[in-house]
Amino acid sequence: MVKTNIKRLGILTGGGDAPGLNAVIRAVSRASRHFGVKLYGFRDGYSGLIKKDYIRLESPHISGLLPKGGTILGSNNRDNPFNFPVEQDNKTVYMDMSGKAVENLSELGIDCLIVIGGDGTLAIARELTQKGARIISVPKTIDNDLPGTDQTFGFDTAVNTATDALDKLHTTAESHHRVMVLELMGRYAGWIALYSGVAGGADVILIPEIPWTKENVAKKILSRKKEGKAFSIIVVAEGVKTPEGNAVIRQTIKGSGDPIRLGGIGDYVANVVEETTGFESRTTVLGHLQRGGSPSPFDRILATCYGEAAAQLALSGEYGMMVSLKNGTITAVRFEEIPRGCRNVPKNHQLITAAKNIGISFGD
């Protein structure tokens, strides 16, 4: 048994959910039990930490969790301890409750908190660490856009879901001689669109990293027509801008750290295709289906390894770190060494080159 002074660990899941969250919780819980440490789960992200809303996670909570989507702890992508909604005189006011969050950890005797989340959750973890909290983070997001790791868990499952959708769209596109546009999530990065577009045999893949023109997309559809292929499949990432450089926004969420919700570029592209090629076009927005369901075997393994590694770091007293996948190996990176911002697809990514060389158009 590893020698540790740690007696109690806390865990929470923050931000949008992703397949594999429960697998991480399970791994941390099993490792904690293995090393004789108690584990407390805070409900609904940082909100549970501020409201002291938690449960002691024990064996019955964990049973059967590995294949389960979502998170048994609940999550939210709004409640930030540094700008936390509080009800006062029948009004919601936003207050800095970060001190309370740190205080609660010490009052509950939590030696280290493991937070599972994306950029928003990580940014809060960094700030709480500066206030004295002992935190380890686990990189999650279907978008795969988190710096400091080669891959987040949740991404592989989202790619599987999107690929399955593309397989289905192919048959209906071919039957009706249509152009089918699939709009995918990913925020300002094109990882899901690129990977599923290649896996699902798309003819055109539009990603935020590569500016596109209407003419180039039309050229690809019409050249397929000339070859006798009277249908085409276009994958478009939600973060793709119009050729004029405008982001297409579905809604703005008050109180969210990142209030912009992208959406609508799929319809824009379908209209462009109808106008420029005369092909009847339809849009499918895959939406939150990409976040749901059972994690793929790859994500179950990645989530399990991340959870175990996070527990090991906590038990050895190494805080202020994010577990990470680098060149196929599980490792950890200090919070201050993680670059800020979005991890975009590099323009010279091998998969883009390969896709172009097999005739997939990126509209550029």
Cβ of residue 85: shortest distance to ligand F6P, in angstroms? Answer: 16
Total residues interacting with ligand F6P, rule: CB under 6 A: 13
Interaction mask 276-295, ligand F6P, x per CB under 6 A: ---------------x----
| Of the residues 39, 122, 142, 332, which one makes contact with ligand F6P according to CB under 6 A | 142
Segment contacting ligand F6P by CB under 6 A, of 136-144, 265-273, 277-285, 294-302:
136-144
Question: Considering the rule CB under 6 A, would residue 259 count as an interface residue with ligand F6P?
Answer: no
| Of the residues 16, 19, 48, 148, which one makes contact with ligand F6P according to CB under 6 A | 16
With contact defined as beta carbons under 8 Å apart, do 23 and 295 qualify?
Answer: yes
Shorter beta-carbon distance to ligand F6P: residue 133 or 262: 262
Closest CA to 143 of 285, 13, 19, 254: 19
* Residue carrying structure tokens 């991404």: 155
Cβ of residue 77: shortest distance to ligand F6P, in angstroms? Answer: 5
- Strand blocks (E) in the chain: 8-13, 38-42, 54-56, 84-88, 91-95, 112-117, 135-139, 179-184, 204-206, 232-237, 249-252, 260-262, 281-285, 321-326, 329-334
Residues whose CB is less than 8 angstroms from the CB of residue 252 and which lie 6 or more positions away in sequence, other chains included: 259, 260, 261
Q: Which residue is nearest to ligand F6P (CB)?
A: 185
Question: Considering the rule CB under 6 A, would residue 261 count as an interface residue with ligand F6P?
Answer: yes
Cβ of residue 118: shortest distance to ligand F6P, in angstroms? Answer: 6
Output the six-digit token pair for 228: 């006798």
| Of the residues 9, 114, 262, 310, which one makes contact with ligand F6P according to CB under 6 A | 262
Cβ of residue 277: shortest distance to ligand F6P, in angstroms? Answer: 29
Shorter beta-carbon distance to ligand F6P: residue 4 or 85: 85
Closest CA to 319 of 1, 22, 6: 6
Question: Considering the rule CB under 6 A, would residue 296 count as an interface residue with ligand F6P?
Answer: no
* Residue carrying structure tokens 């798309």: 202
* Residue carrying structure tokens 């380890």: 136
Which of helix, strand or coil describes residue 190? coil
Question: Considering the rule CB under 6 A, would residue 165 count as an interface residue with ligand F6P?
Answer: no
CA distance 82 to 124: 8
Question: Considering the rule CB under 6 A, would residue 208 count as an interface residue with ligand F6P?
Answer: no
The CA distances from residue 51 to 39, 208, 343, 354, in Å, are 18, 39, 33, 50
Shorter beta-carbon distance to ligand F6P: residue 231 or 268: 268
Question: Considering the rule CB under 6 A, would residue 77 count as an interface residue with ligand F6P?
Answer: yes
Cβ of residue 187: shortest distance to ligand F6P, in angstroms? Answer: 5
Q: Of residues 17, 79, 143, 299, which has the active-site annotation?
A: 143
Segment contacting ligand F6P by CB under 6 A, of 68-76, 138-146, 162-170, 308-316:
138-146
Which of helix, strand or coil describes residue 21? helix
Question: Considering the rule CB under 6 A, would residue 78 count as an interface residue with ligand F6P?
Answer: no
Annotated active-site residue 17? The verdict is: no
Which residues in 63-86 are b (16+ Cβ under 10 Å) and which e? eebbebbbbbbbbbbbbbbbebee
Question: Considering the rule CB under 6 A, would residue 185 count as an interface residue with ligand F6P?
Answer: yes
Region of 55 on the Ramachandran plot (φ > 0 left; ψ -120 to 50 alpha; else beta): beta
Residues near ligand F6P (CB under 6 A) are: 16, 77, 118, 141-143, 185-187, 238, 261-262, 291
Residues labelled as active-site residues: 143
